[in-house]
Amino acid sequence: MTLGFFVYKLLGSLVVPPGLFILAALVLAFILDRKKAGKAAPILALLLAVGLYVFSTPAGARILAGDIENVSPSLPPQGEKAVIVVLGGGVRYGGNRSPDEPGPLASLRVTAAYEITRKHAWPVIVTGGLPWKPGEATTAEVMATKLRNLGYAGKILMAGKSRTTWEDMEQTREILGSLGTRNIVLVTNAFHMKRALWIARKLMPNVRIHSFPAGYLLDRVPLRPLDFLPGPDMAGALVFRERIGLAAARLKALLP
């Protein structure tokens, strides 16, 4: 990569968010320091710039993620029955213009589940409530429709009242009692899998849970100069949220 091309990409990243916000925070820190506004104000502005930078660069996302995506796909041994559990991951509501459909993360999950069903005729549980208003389709219903449209003709059960991953697992546990199986194939995005697995094992200690990550957020190639430039995907924010979510789940498990 030539220096000229890197500078071109750098300038491009600084004239649009989040790079523009990072630059603004740096300018604010400089102005506050020159105006002798005390030590706290420029330091806070500088910390804001650094935080935005870490969250918005691929290199920063890798630092924040650590081993959070170190999960591999697994399935039950040949001949054993299982239930596929697909966790809700957001919906894009089309209103009057287009049908409702799973969001980008949920679409990966539904597609991964469908790929499993092409080889294994297992029932599927889809989770997620939170319709945008009462009477509209829940996340679980939208995902179930997508699964049918892909061609799945098997049994679909819905945990359609859940709002969080914890509630996803609580409702899944209730449904499992009627299915007579002790194997779950848990489908969610790789960055979300460790938290989902921890909660599932906490709430269903007698169930064998197999992870099936639906797509990885982070690249595994060596870092390149462009990976240190701010970008719009904010992957760092997603993996940071997962770490906070796992800590919150562990704290919740300690409470009476």
**pLDDT at residue 133, rounded to an integer:** 80
> What's the CA gap between 235 and 238, in Å, rounded?
5
For the chain, the domains span 1-56, 83-213
The stretches in the chain having pLDDT less than 70 are 37
Report the pLDDT value the prediction gives residue 122, as an integer from 0 to 100: 95
Rounded to a whole number of angstroms, the CA Rg of the chain reads: 22
User: Residue 181's pLDDT is what?
Assistant: 84
35: buried, middle or exposed (CB in 10 Å: 19+, 13-18, 0-12)? Answer: exposed
**In this predicted structure, what is the pLDDT of residue 103?**
92
Q: What is the pLDDT of residue 225?
A: 92
Share of the chain residues as helix, strand and coil, in percent rounded to the nearest 5: 50, 10, 40
Domain boundaries 83-213, corresponding CATH code:
3.40.50.620
CB 239 within 8 A of CB 60: no
| The Cα angle at residue 245 between residues 51 and 74, in degrees rounded to 5 | 115
pTM listed for this prediction: 0.89
pLDDT in tens, 114-143: 999 999 999 999 999 988 788 889 999 999
